[in-house]
Amino acid sequence: MQPDQTPAAADTDAQTENAAGTRADETSSENGAETTTPEPVTSGRQARPWLLALLLAALIALLAYRPDWRADAATWARTTAMQTFNISPRDVYAARLRIAGLADSALGERWRSAAARAGEDPGRFSTRYATRGRFEPDTIEAHVFQTALERGERFQVRLLRDAPACTDCRSALYADIQRRDADSDDPNAWATVRMLGTDGEVVNFVAERDGDYRVVLQPELAAAVGYQLAMARGGSLSFPVTGAATRDIGSGFGAPRDGGARKHHGVDIFAARGTPVTAVADGRVRTGTGGIGGKHVWLSSGMLGIGGARYYYAHLDAFNVESGDSVSTGDVLGYVGNTGNARTTPPHLHFGIYTSFGPVDPAPFLRPAPDLPES
Ligand SMILES: [Zn+2]
């Protein structure tokens, strides 16, 4: 908290001026360097190709010398390819089959269609699921586990590949989370949204869209691989009212307001006057009074990958923060009340989530956190 901070508007203006001033200074010093000191730049240009060649040679030597570094570099390259071009390791392996002339063989065709075949009758689950499985070298198949997620739900996955008998004979197990949009006409329009490691680390994935989601596991051709898999889904935010839970949400998102003239752009969480309301994410706050929200707080955060969400807390009885304060998840922002147009209703927190595309339903965000089962 920064209790002695100047009012928000003045604070913001000061920052803008500073930023502009700094930028102008940097530009002029850059120009100055280029025009007034040409000699060091020229000699630098002559030296640079040699230096680069040396560094590159050293890097190649190191990668040849250290197999573990080479593996890291390969992992990094694969991850980068996946993130930049949306190519998964499974796609890379499929491409290798094509290059080897195997893709159109009966084996290759069976390998490529394995996920689609398994996807026709996937293992389905609702909130949590754990299983152990195994792929045998004489079968060509994928294992698929499917669920439906709403925007704002958190999906947790932990995948552990069974320890292989020897490290050199280790063959790859490809695993990823795929999504099919809720309004998709094509039942096979699955797209990879996250790769999964096989080292037993918990992966957290927050759904940015409603849709069907599935975990697809598939080993290389002729591989013998066992695995342990655990999955759970739940909310992605901590509950904004201390001691309250989903059952205390009295009025949901989209309910009619003012005789249908507008819609409810949040949820109402009922609690006793004076109950603390807390930050659902790290960020900066701005307070306000008056209007239909009465005493309210805006919390801005870069989290959730939805273009920086803003959280709206309305009808507060009192504040515990001031505009411009930086807060951490769980910090008390204020206290439940019925200020603004809630004057005639029992005390409650009106809680809203706004993305750059407008308000979204907070309910899936506020469900109980995922509870990952032991696998
Ligand atoms: Zn409300």
- Whether residue 54 is contained in a domain is answered as no
The tokens describing 31, both together, are 């120009």
Residue 13 lies in a domain: no
Q: Are residues 174 and 286 in the same domain?
A: no
Query: Are residues 139 and 270 located together in one domain of the fold?
Result: no
Quote the ligand 1 centre to 300 CA distance (angstroms).
19
pLDDT above 70: percentage of residues in the chain? 78
CA distances in angstroms from 125 to 68, 122, 231, 321, 375, listed in the order given: 38, 9, 9, 42, 15
> What is the Å distance from ligand 1's center to 351 Cα?
7
The alpha carbon of 364 and the centre of ligand 1 are apart by a number of angstroms equal to: 16
Shared-domain flag, residues 216 and 117: yes
Q: What is the 267 CA–ligand 1 centroid distance (Å)?
A: 5
CA of 306 relative to ligand 1 center, distance in Å: 22
Q: Is there a single domain that holds both residue 268 and residue 348?
A: yes
Tell me how far the alpha carbon of residue 341 lies from the centroid of ligand 1, in angstroms: 9
Residue-wise pLDDT tens digits, 164-202: 554 545 668 999 999 997 777 887 889 889 989 888 999
Please indicate, yes or no, whether residues 222 and 255 belong to a single structural domain of this protein. Answer: no
Q: What is the pLDDT of residue 374?
A: 87
In-domain check, residue 112: yes
Query: Do 182 and 270 belong to one domain?
Result: no
Whether residue 158 is contained in a domain is answered as yes
The residue type at 188: N
- Residue bearing the bigger pLDDT, 224 or 170: 224
Cα of 369 vs centre of ligand 1, distance in Å, is 23
- Cβ neighbours for 368, distance < 8 A, ≥ 6 positions apart: 234, 235, 245, 246
Which one is predicted more confidently, 288 or 96? Answer: 288
Q: Are residues 95 and 217 in the same domain?
A: yes
Secondary-structure breakdown of the chain: helix, strand, coil percentages, each rounded to the nearest 5? 30, 35, 35
Distance 232 CA to ligand 1 centre (A): 30
Classify the C-alpha dihedral 354-359-360-361 as positive or negative: positive
CATH number for the domain spanning 296: value is 2.70.70.10
d(CA 253, ligand 1 centre) in Å: 8
Give per-residue pLDDT as tens, 271-329. Answer: 999 999 999 999 999 999 989 999 999 999 865 544 578 999 999 999 999 999 999 99
pLDDT at 33: 35
Does residue 311 lie in a domain region? Answer: yes
Percent of residues, the chain, with pLDDT higher than 90: 49
Co-location of 289 and 162 in the same domain: no
Domain count, the chain: 2
Instruction: Please report, for residues 152, 228, 249, the alpha-carbon distance to residue 235 in angstroms, rounded to integers and kept in the order given.
Output: 7, 24, 14
Lowest model confidence (mean pLDDT) among 1-15, 93-107, 153-167, 245-259 = 1-15
> Phi, psi at residue 242, to the nearest 5°?
-60, 130
Exposed, middle or buried, 297 (CB in 10 Å: 0-12/13-18/19+)? Answer: buried
255 CA distance to ligand 1 middle (Å): 9
Q: What separation in Å is there between the alpha carbon of 269 and the centre of ligand 1?
A: 8
Which pLDDT belongs to residue 5? 38
What pLDDT is recorded for position 171?
A: 66
Residues 180 and 93 in one domain: yes
CA of 152 to the centre of ligand 1 (A): 19
- Indicate the average pLDDT of the chain: 81
Residue where a domain stops, chosen among 234, 269, 302 = 234
Q: pTM higher than 0.75 for the full model?
A: no
Query: Does 76 score more than 60 pLDDT?
Result: yes
Contact between residue 142 and residue 218 where contact means Cβ atoms under 8 Å apart: yes
Of the pLDDT bands very low, low, confident and very high (cuts 50, 70, 90), residue 28 is very low
Spacing, Cα 115 to ligand 1 middle (Å): 44
| Pairwise CA distance, residues 298 & 312, whole Å | 5
- Is the Cβ–Cβ distance between 264 and 252 less than 8 Å? yes
CA of 362 from ligand 1 middle (Å) equals 12
Pick left, alpha or beta for residue 60 (phi over 0 → left; psi -120 to 50 → alpha; otherwise beta).
Answer: alpha
Domain that holds residue 300: 246-366
In this model, does residue 145 exceed pLDDT 80?
Answer: yes
Ligand 1 centroid – CA 305 distance (Å) = 25
